[in-house]
Chain A
Amino acid sequence: MVRALEKYIRPGIKTTPFCPGCGHGILMGLILRAIDELQMDMKKMLFVSGIGCAAWIPSPHYNGDTLHTLHGRALAFATGAKLFNPELCVMVISGDGDLSSIGGNHLIHAARRNLDLKVICANNMIYGMTGGQVASTTPKGTKTSTTDEGNPYPPFDLCRLVKAAGATYVARYSVTQPVALVRAIKRILLREGFSFIEVLSPCPTQYGRRNRLDRPEDLIRDLIRRCVTEEEAEGMTDEELAEKIITGEFLA
């Protein structure tokens, strides 16, 4: 399988820049797996990303057209490219801070327009590249380099936000749910309209070590324990639900 995906990697790329235990490498592979299963033409694919760790998932690794843009602006660049050349299959891959904080306005407006953009938001719940500062997606109470006593504010629920703004496909999965995630990526590659998948991706380097989840496997286990389906969530008490992350397709 790994060999089969090599043709989607830009020649000469031998390593990824991700830290040990980072979930972005898993996501990078899963997106390619979906592309491979659908036999997508990489020459017609444009991958747009912003700034941050997740923005490096497609650039320079993917062997299609890649546009590594400014912090927060990936969706605006993607809008221009897609509108002028509708033949392009435009996928935006970027982080939570990039897409939902500095780029939050572009996110809701892109969803409102329901332009055919396939958005994958790698959510590690923190600003990884800049040193672990609190993000708009960091859970309340979490310790970060700018909230050493715990984050005083609640996070965005990105799926609800994007759904309310007008997206026509919304899903959330964790990199610990590879089969479901690949299925969702394939679905957005085949459909038209603004599609949004929030992908939970562990960051042991910046998130885990400040929150007693130092080792990569600690964060992976934590995600497996916390991710539940909508059906599973139905029978749970509010107390039980407080630390859970509901995954699945919320709008399909």
Chain B
Amino acid sequence: MPLKSLQSSFLKGTFYLSGNEASAEGAIAAGCRFYAGYPITPSSELMERMAFRLREVGGVFIQMEDEIASICAVIGASWAGAKAMTATSGPGFSLMQEAIGYAAFTETPCVIVDVQRAGPCTGQATRVGSGDMMQVKWGSHGDYQIIAFSPWSSQEMYDFTIKAFNLSEKYRVPAFVMADEAVGHLRETVRIPEKIEIWNRKKQKGIPPFGTEEADGVPPMPSFGEGERLLVTGSTHDALGYRKTDDPEVHSKLVQRINLKILNHRKEIVETEEYFLEDAEVAILSYGFTARSSLYAVKGLRKEGRRVGMMRLKTIWPFPDEKVSELGKKVRKILVPEMNLGQVAGEVKKYVTCEVISFNQTNGEIIRPEKIKEELRKIL
């Protein structure tokens, strides 16, 4: 089994870390040994920490000429055998989209941390936003799946970066930690456990690296230099990697498989968390930093005896459709507060029949608990 327990040989114990620093530590613990990046606010501290941590553990760090080069170097390193990552924010994330499609189509494991800022465009570089929640799923052209987490604490920046590496390796798919400026710069206690679970990519000589018998399988992934004479291409390819640019069957089979290998394993991938939902009439569905304000608001109203609860999405993609659908049957109304104009609320509406109220704030500031309380009162 590729899943093995590993002593987290570096940091152990309790630390006071920013989200960006915690994510870098998670990456090191998960076995990341290659980082390529380009400076961008508010993610740069992550790159700075990786620069010296990778030197300490004998990995490779390089600051590239732009974000396109960064993600491409990450993919090249991944095929050379590395667990590789990059981090960025909105404008850089936009530049990376073509190569993210390449990673999805060539089934290249890699981790991308997006510390979201207030967009669109250059927007407010030092201010918070969560406007990339849809871009992370749909940013590159064509149909593909990715895995994306939404952390709400420094602790989760650590934990989710490890999870992102594990799932990325397991499913051979790009995995994302969709942080935001507030979580990235938040400084709080992070507890690093004695042991963490690590997943390494499966290797098997002589097995086709781009196809499986099953319609939703994940083939083993050899590395360059192992004598497998790999044929990696972003064009449509058969199980061995040969370009098949006009074969309808090969194209359809490949596109189906890179989608089904994630969608059919949703149950193993998605994670949500529930608070006070047993008897709730109205629920908040929240994610990222906003979920902290949401929980504070819910607790406040509970003290007043109001029947409100909360579901927190830890995984955003693949979307936790079943859990959200169940929630929709349990409550009368769902409030979705977001630092964008309703990106995830739109997704929630696809899976529930109850009323969904989108509460949006795009002013570069976090949504405060009082505001969420106020909105809740309106709909209770």
> Which residues 49-70 of B sit at the A interface, judged by CB distance below 8 A?
60, 62, 64-66, 68-70
Residues on A facing B (Cβ under 8 Å): 10, 42-44, 46, 48, 59-60, 63-70, 73, 76-85, 87-88, 105-106, 109
Stretch at the interface among B6-14, B39-47, B72-80, B340-348: B72-80
A-B complex: 9 closest residue pairs judged by Cβ atoms: A80-B76, A80-B73, A76-B72, A77-B76, A80-B77, A68-B233, A76-B69, A81-B76, A109-B65
Contact A59/B231 with A80-B36, A85-B225 known, Cβ cut-off 8 Å:
yes
Interface of B (DSSP majority class): mixed
Whether B242 is near chain A, meaning CB under 8 Å from some CB there, is: yes
Q: A106, B80: Cβ atoms under 8 Å? A: no
Q: A84, B234: Cβ atoms under 8 Å? A: no
User: What separation, in Å, do the CA atoms of A77 and B60 have in the docked complex?
Assistant: 14
Whether B229 is near chain A, meaning CB under 8 Å from some CB there, is: yes
Q: B230, A83: Cβ atoms under 8 Å? A: no
CB-defined contacts of B74 to chain A, threshold 8 Å: 80
CB-defined contacts of A77 to chain B, threshold 8 Å: 72-73, 75-76
Q: B33, A84: Cβ atoms under 8 Å? A: yes
7 contacts between A and B (CB under 8 A): A65-B228, A65-B230, A65-B232, A79-B69, A80-B34, A80-B75, A83-B73
Q: A73, B34: Cβ atoms under 8 Å? A: no
User: What separation, in Å, do the CA atoms of A109 and B65 have in the docked complex?
Assistant: 7
User: What separation, in Å, do the CA atoms of A106 and B34 have in the docked complex?
Assistant: 19
Write the chain B residue with the least CB distance to A68. B233
Q: B225, A88: Cβ atoms under 8 Å? A: yes
Minimum CB–CB distance for A72 against chain B, Å: 8
Q: Can you list, as one digit per residue, whether each of B216-243 has a CB less than 8 Å from chain A (1) or not (0)?
A: 0000000111011111111100000111
User: What separation, in Å, do the CA atoms of A85 and B76 have in the docked complex?
Assistant: 10
Q: B234, A70: Cβ atoms under 8 Å? A: yes
CB-defined contacts of B295 to chain A, threshold 8 Å: none
Q: A70, B99: Cβ atoms under 8 Å? A: yes
Q: B231, A60: Cβ atoms under 8 Å? A: yes
> Which residues 225-284 of B sit at the A interface, judged by CB distance below 8 A?
225, 227-235, 241-243
Minimum CB–CB distance for B120 against chain A, Å: 24
Q: A69, B102: Cβ atoms under 8 Å? A: yes
Q: A65, B62: Cβ atoms under 8 Å? A: no
Number of interface residues of B (CB under 8 A): 41
User: What separation, in Å, do the CA atoms of A157 and B99 have in the docked complex?
Assistant: 29
Whether B300 is near chain A, meaning CB under 8 Å from some CB there, is: no
Q: B234, A78: Cβ atoms under 8 Å? A: no
Contact A70/B66 with A64-B229, A85-B81 known, Cβ cut-off 8 Å:
no
Write the chain A residue with the least CB distance to B72. A76
Residues on B facing A (Cβ under 8 Å): 33-34, 36, 60, 62, 64-66, 68-70, 72-82, 84, 98-99, 102, 223-225, 227-235, 241-243
Write the chain B residue with the least CB distance to A42. B229
Q: A83, B62: Cβ atoms under 8 Å? A: yes
User: What separation, in Å, do the CA atoms of A143 and B75 have in the docked complex?
Assistant: 38
User: What separation, in Å, do the CA atoms of A5 and B112 have in the docked complex?
Assistant: 42
Of the listed residues B36, B75, B76, B80, the one surrounded by the most CB atoms of chain A closer than 10 A to its CB is B76
Q: A67, B81: Cβ atoms under 8 Å? A: no
Minimum CB–CB distance for B5 against chain A, Å: 25
Write the chain A residue with the least CB distance to B69. A76
Write the chain A residue with the least CB distance to B82. A84
Write the chain B residue with the least CB distance to A64. B229
Write the chain B residue with the least CB distance to A67. B232
Write the chain B residue with the least CB distance to A105. B65
Q: A80, B72: Cβ atoms under 8 Å? A: yes
CB-defined contacts of B70 to chain A, threshold 8 Å: 76
Q: A46, B234: Cβ atoms under 8 Å? A: no
Q: B233, A81: Cβ atoms under 8 Å? A: no
Minimum CB–CB distance for B39 against chain A, Å: 15
Minimum CB–CB distance for B63 against chain A, Å: 10
Minimum CB–CB distance for A100 against chain B, Å: 15
Besides the contacts A46-B80, A105-B65, what 12 more A-B pairs have beta carbons closer than 8 Å? A42-B229, A43-B227, A60-B231, A60-B242, A66-B231, A69-B102, A69-B234, A76-B64, A79-B62, A80-B74, A80-B75, A84-B34
User: What separation, in Å, do the CA atoms of A66 and B228 have in the docked complex?
Assistant: 10
User: What separation, in Å, do the CA atoms of A67 and B235 have in the docked complex?
Assistant: 11
| B81: contacting residue among A10, A43, A84, CB under 8 A | A84
Minimum CB–CB distance for B260 against chain A, Å: 25
Q: B69, A88: Cβ atoms under 8 Å? A: no
Q: A59, B76: Cβ atoms under 8 Å? A: no
Contact A84/B229 with A60-B242, A106-B69 known, Cβ cut-off 8 Å:
no
User: What separation, in Å, do the CA atoms of A116 and B64 have in the docked complex?
Assistant: 16
| A83: contacting residue among B60, B224, B234, B235, CB under 8 A | B60
Q: A63, B76: Cβ atoms under 8 Å? A: no
Write the chain A residue with the least CB distance to B62. A83
Write the chain B residue with the least CB distance to A79. B73
